[in-house]
Structure 1
Amino acid sequence: MTDKTGDNEQVFNRRIIDIAIKLGALALVIVWCFQIISPFIMIVIWAAILAVALFPLHSKLSRLLKGNKKFASIIIALLGISIIAVPSTNLASSAFDSAQHVYTEMEAGTLKIPKPNDSIKDWPLIGEKLFQLWYESSQDIQTVIEQYSEQVKGLSEKLLSAAAGIVGGILQFIASLIIATVFMTKSTSLHNGVSKLTRRLMNESGDRTINTTIATIRSVATGVLGVAAIQSLLAGVGLMIAHIPGAGVWAIIVLILAIAQLPPIIILGPIAAYYFSVADTTPAVLFLIFSVIVSTSDAFLKPLFLGRGMNIPMLVILLGAIGGMLMSGIVGLFVGAIVLALGYELIMDWLNQKTLNKESASKHKTEY
């Protein structure tokens, strides 16, 4: 009896050790694979988001081209690169050149600051202090730089770093767009695979989760991110035409404000006031009118991009955009907003499902 018990314990211990070794090896392989693909995760996620958002357009093009999905994908890729990547590259180049120019002139002591307009004194809260600092900088910039040397040096380095980050973000966007076109070409097989996975994980809730994911991605991508990107590009082009220093950086700030559903005039307004102090009246007035048009453009762009049906709180999108940008740069700005919005929608869907199930059970019990 004792021998049998001892043999059973040995077999059990061997099985435990065998399972532990197998699980350890499996965990090692999974962690290793994750580390290998981790640099590409954000690009692939953004590619999947683009594929879902652009799929209706891809379907229409495929029908026009008699079912040629590959050619439709090539057209979308070329259009996306020409419409988004080319202007963005120009903005990034402008931001990099401006930051480098300011940094070089600061180091050489040749930076010239125009005199401020007296109207700046009337700005609330910061008007007097800003005017005084601006005026001192226009008289003797070297003294001001020496007085705030650490802050100026840190700001210059951050501007250069931000400009380099913009370039990297554009390259990531191009790579994601190319991958997205491949996803759209293989849409049927990919959709079947994802459906099998969600059904395996969530049983009967799998299909509803896929539908919620698709609806959320398209709603946020078109109603918020699409409009914000257009406003940012328009603002950037106007800033470049007006030769505003750091046009690319200001365009990125406009993008963040637009995603947060804040009017771009918060940034473009002070820039327009600055432009009045350095330019003639006519171009300054035109730039001010342009700034107002860009800031109010979402009023007709959102209905055009079908963003009115979205019930996701703007705070969720704002936190997602800022958190994503802090984590992964420019691409993270878009991915973070959509992923957090998707998480919010899935949680709310799950909570509503639980409530509906309880109400249905209670009703059934009462009828019974």
Structure 2
Amino acid sequence: MKLEGNFSNQAIDAFIKIAAIAVLVFWCFSILRPFILLVVWGGIIATALYPVVSWAHVKFKIGKGKISGILAFIGVLLLLIPLIAISTGLYTSGSELLAGYQDGSIAIPKPDISMKDWPVIGERAYAFVSHASSNIESVVLKYGDELKIVASNIASFVGSLGGGFIQFIISTIIAGAFMANADKCERAFVLVARRLTGEQGESLTTLSKNTVRSVVQGVIGVAVIQSIMAGVGMFFADIPAIGLWMLLVMLVAIIQLPPILALLPLIIYVFSVDTTTTAVLFLIWCILVSGSDAILKPILLSRGTNIPMLVILLGALGGMAMSGIVGLFVGAVVLSVTYQLFVAWLDSEAKEEG
């Protein structure tokens, strides 16, 4: 009876301790939940950029903390520039559009007859633009509900885009703090990994670090390069809203689809409004941009571990569905790291059985 009583007391004590820990963990998670995605993305940025910090530290004999702060400051500036440009451009364009509509000075140019040759939508697009160019007020009255829906969707997208830039800025600042304390952060991760997996903790931490850098360089890095290349072509083709099209190209490239899908509407647009020579050159450039990943990915992705493209695709799409634009980047990296750790665990089990 005494043994049963001791067992009951120990079981109750264990239950109370586990329940108390669970409550604390849940409480802490609820408090930190709004910041988890930003902290994870900041850690990913820090992991990818830390080799730059180490190189600059050795090359210029500057403290790692100062280099980390400089990189974070540069990153924030690079993110603030497009955010301010988009905000200013939307405000200016919206004000001019509203003023032009109120005073009757706004006018839509008549479409080129070649618009009729567009596949599937050519005839309807030409008729709609022709009607709008001759009597814009009737178009607004006739399609008022549809225009409200389109405007609402555009406003929602722009708001999400602006929120994404702000999240990127916060994550960049967090990344600077992580890079300044990289040694302590890595030691903490190794200790946690050892606590969870035993002697394999350090090797799994190294594997995770290499996987993060591989995905950032080979997937996100390639997407950024393709976006910049596409932007150069858009600039010479005099295409409006270059920044938004570059963002679309980058997003399509990250989810492992050919960037030519995002560039196809622009190719049709250039063939409709510009000379044949310009349009053909732009088409060739877009094909080169879309095919450049065949050269860039082996160079950048081979520096880390090999990851199936399906894993990156699912991670990017799932992350975007869950957390928007930032989730697109974080999802691809997190699922890739999880996949690599799972494969390493399977390999270790197979070695133990062998």
Judge same fold: TM > 0.5, yes or no.
yes
Match of 2:175 in 1: 180
Match of 1:326 in 2: 321
Q: Structure 1 residues 114 and 298 mapped into 2: Cα distance closer, same or farther (>3 Å)?
A: farther
Match of 1:365 in 2: none
Answer whether contact 2:215 2:301 (CA < 8 A) is retained: no
Q: Structure 1 residues 310 and 123 mapped into 2: Cα distance closer, same or farther (>3 Å)?
A: farther
Answer whether contact 1:96 1:164 (CA < 8 A) is retained: no
Q: How does 1:196-345 map to 2 (within 5 A)?
A: 196-235=191-230, 244=239, 246-278=241-273, 291-292=286-287, 294-298=289-293, 301-302=296-297, 305-307=300-302, 311-345=306-340
Distance 2:136 2:316 in 1: 36
Match of 1:363 in 2: none
1:93 aligns with 2:87: yes
Match of 1:40 in 2: 35
1:169 aligns with 2:164: yes
Q: Structure 1 residues 143 and 275 mapped into 2: Cα distance closer, same or farther (>3 Å)?
A: farther
Moved more, 43-52 or 150-159: 150-159
Distance 2:292 2:166 in 1: 28
Moved more, 191-200 or 252-261: 252-261
1:155 aligns with 2:150: yes
Gaps of 5+ in 1: 361-368
Moved more, 72-81 or 197-206: 72-81
Partner amino acid, structure 1, of 2:155: L
Match of 1:71 in 2: 66
Answer whether contact 1:256 1:321 (CA < 8 A) is retained: no
Answer whether contact 1:99 1:156 (CA < 8 A) is retained: no
Q: Structure 1 residues 302 and 118 mapped into 2: Cα distance closer, same or farther (>3 Å)?
A: farther
Question: What's the offset of the Cα at 1:72?
Answer: 1.6
1:195 aligns with 2:195: no
Q: Structure 1 residues 268 and 308 mapped into 2: Cα distance closer, same or farther (>3 Å)?
A: farther
Q: Structure 1 residues 79 and 351 mapped into 2: Cα distance closer, same or farther (>3 Å)?
A: same
Q: Structure 1 residues 285 and 15 mapped into 2: Cα distance closer, same or farther (>3 Å)?
A: same
Question: What's the offset of the Cα at 1:325?
Answer: 1.8
Q: How does 1:87-126 map to 2 (within 5 A)?
A: 87-89=81-83, 92-93=86-87, 96-97=90-91, 100=94, 112-126=107-121
Answer whether contact 2:65 2:181 (CA < 8 A) is retained: no
Partner amino acid, structure 2, of 1:174: I
Partner amino acid, structure 1, of 2:58: R
Distance 1:105 1:293 in 2: 42
Question: What's the offset of the Cα at 1:190?
Answer: 1.5
Partner amino acid, structure 2, of 1:228: A
Moved more, 143-152 or 171-180: 143-152
Question: What's the offset of the Cα at 1:313?
Answer: 2.3
Partner amino acid, structure 2, of 1:190: C
Distance 1:285 1:102 in 2: 34
Question: What's the offset of the Cα at 1:204?
Answer: 2.7
Distance 1:286 1:269 in 2: 14
Moved more, 127-136 or 71-80: 127-136
Moved more, 279-288 or 11-20: 279-288
Answer whether contact 2:211 2:304 (CA < 8 A) is retained: no
Q: How does 1:139-150 map to 2 (within 5 A)?
A: 139-150=134-145
Q: Structure 1 residues 26 and 107 mapped into 2: Cα distance closer, same or farther (>3 Å)?
A: farther
Moved more, 62-71 or 334-343: 62-71
Partner amino acid, structure 2, of 1:180: A
Give deviations 1:36-76, integer Å, cap 9, x for gaps. 11111111101111111111111101112326111221232
Identity of aligned residues (%): 42
Residue aligned with 1:212, SS: helix
Question: What's the offset of the Cα at 1:234?
Answer: 4.9
Moved more, 218-227 or 203-212: 203-212
Gaps of 5+ in 2: none
Q: Structure 1 residues 98 and 229 mapped into 2: Cα distance closer, same or farther (>3 Å)?
A: farther
Partner amino acid, structure 1, of 2:49: L
Partner amino acid, structure 2, of 1:254: V
Partner amino acid, structure 1, of 2:76: I
Q: Normalised by the size of structure 1, how large is the TM-score?
A: 0.79
Q: Structure 1 residues 27 and 75 mapped into 2: Cα distance closer, same or farther (>3 Å)?
A: same
Distance 2:268 2:99 in 1: 24
